[in-house]
Amino acid sequence: MPPGSNNPVALGRNSAAVAAPRPPSAFFARRRRNYRRFIIPAVVVVGAVIVFPWMFTVWMSAFDWKIGSVAHFVGFDNYVGLATNQRFLESIGHTFYFTLLAVVLPLVLGTIAALIFHREFPMRGVLRAVFTMPMMATPVAVALVWTMMFHPQQGVLNYLLSLVGLPPSLWVYSPTLVIPSLVMVEIWHWTPLVMLIVLGGLAALPIEPYESARLDGATEWQLFRYITLPLIAPFLVVAAVIRTIDAVKAFDTIYVISQGGPGTASETINLYLYLQAFAFYNVGNASAVVVVFFAIILALALLLLHVRQRTRWVAM
């Protein structure tokens, strides 16, 4: 045994002098430590604009605070108040009702439009462009135009109904018709988006399955049901995710056209939240609404992600 081999100090000195190669794990660990510095800006930004506001909102939801007054800690009182607030509970129902219609109907109509525009026919390019024009319009401008069209006495919609012998409708001026009427605006505005997404999916489809199915005698409906629909399903799910996000957060159209009325018949969570925060300045209560709304959105997002994963697996 060489002298000093049992002396750790001497061994250390010798090791340093020889500079034996480090084990790979230590090398990568140091490298990782060096790289971690580069994520600091992102962490700071995310912390400042997402995490902190979110934590602060949760914190504020535990206070009874109206701007201009002193805040009092009330624990879960704001949540208990919401759970027993009929108007808020109704606004959740309105949100789901609106979202359901504003997702399903554009999906169905957008898919049909995509199937039509996928076929070859004269002027197809021009007509496609015309069909996509509504989604380029500003939502508030769209809402203002539809408001005029919905007018029960002077609106063009009732005039059109009268031309085909149908009785006039109250549209957004009726508590029972207001949400379906608002969904009409959404359909007009956003069906083209669904059409574009599905059209992209159709363009990417292989032609071989269709050829072999036709040789086997499949009908057009069977081609669609058993080949086209499963193959474009991932695209439909993407369209559904985008539409759901849009519909849940819809505010401008509803606010401009009906302001949540008549009464509270079209008041969604967003409109209720707007009133609490920016008309009544009930910051504590509005924060609790935000937290509940976030939980609802999170649940919806998880559901949609689950469906998306499942659809991918099935499609593969």
Partner 1 sequence: MTDFDRDAANAKRRKLLQAGLGAAAIGAVPGATQIVRAQGGFDWKKFKGEKIEIFLVKSPRGDLLTKYHKEFEDLTGITVGSEMIPEQQQRQKAVIEFNSGSPSFDVIALSYHVQKRQFAKNNWLTDLRPMIGDKSLAAPDLDFGDFAQGGLNYAVESDGRVMSLPFNLDPWVVYYNKEIFDAKGVAFPKTFAEMIDAAAKLNDTSKGISGFVGRGLKNANVPVWSSFLLGYGGGFVDAKGRLTTDTPEAIEAGKMYQTLLGKYGPQGVAGFNWNEAQSLFLQGKAAMWLDGIGFAQPLEDPNKSRIVGKVGYGVMPAGPKRQVSALFGDGEGISTYSKKKGPAWFYLQWASNKANQTRMLQAAAGAPVRNSAYAAAQSSADFKAPKQWVECMLASAKIAQPGLPVIVPVTEFRDTFGVALTNMINGADPAGELKKATAEFQPVLDKSEKA
Residues that bind partner 1 (CB under 8 A): 66-70, 151-154, 168, 170-175, 178, 258-264, 275, 278-281
Q: Give the phi and the psi of residue 260 in degrees, each rounded to 5.
A: 90, -5
Which residue's CB is nearer to partner 1, number 161 or number 296?
A: 161
Largest Cα–Cα distance of the chain, in whole Å?
112
CB 192 within 8 A of CB 110: yes
Q: Which two tokens stand for residue 311?
A: 């659809």
Q: How far is the CB of 277 from partner 1 (least distance, A)?
A: 9
Which residue's CB is nearer to partner 1, number 173 or number 224?
A: 173
Which residue's CB is nearer to partner 1, number 62 or number 237?
A: 62
Q: How far apart are CA 119 and CA 136, in angstroms?
A: 24
Q: Is there a cis peptide before residue 262, judged by omega within 30 degrees of 0? A: yes
Q: How far is the CB of 269 from partner 1 (least distance, A)?
A: 16
Listed in order, strand segments (DSSP E) in 70-146 are 72-73
Q: How far is the CB of 227 from partner 1 (least distance, A)?
A: 47
Residue 79 is given by DSSP the state: H
Q: How far is the CB of 305 from partner 1 (least distance, A)?
A: 36
Which residue's CB is nearer to partner 1, number 5 or number 153?
A: 153
Q: How far is the CB of 68 from partner 1 (least distance, A)?
A: 6
CB 147 within 8 A of CB 229: no
Q: How far is the CB of 265 from partner 1 (least distance, A)?
A: 9
Which residue's CB is nearer to partner 1, number 173 or number 210?
A: 173
Q: How far apart are CA 302 and CA 289, in angstroms?
A: 20
Which residue's CB is nearer to partner 1, number 41 or number 68?
A: 68
Which residue's CB is nearer to partner 1, number 61 or number 228?
A: 61
Q: How far apart are CA 204 and CA 171, in angstroms?
A: 40
Residue 64 is given by DSSP the state: E
Q: How far is the CB of 58 from partner 1 (least distance, A)?
A: 21
How far is Cα of residue 264 from the mean position of the Cα atoms in its chain? 24
Strand partners for 282: 66
Q: How far apart are CA 277 and CA 280, in angstroms?
A: 6
Which residue's CB is nearer to partner 1, number 139 or number 155?
A: 155
In which residue are the tokens 């149908």 written?
166
The angle at the Cα of 227, spanning 211 to 189, to the nearest 5 degrees, equals: 120
Q: How far is the CB of 251 from partner 1 (least distance, A)?
A: 14
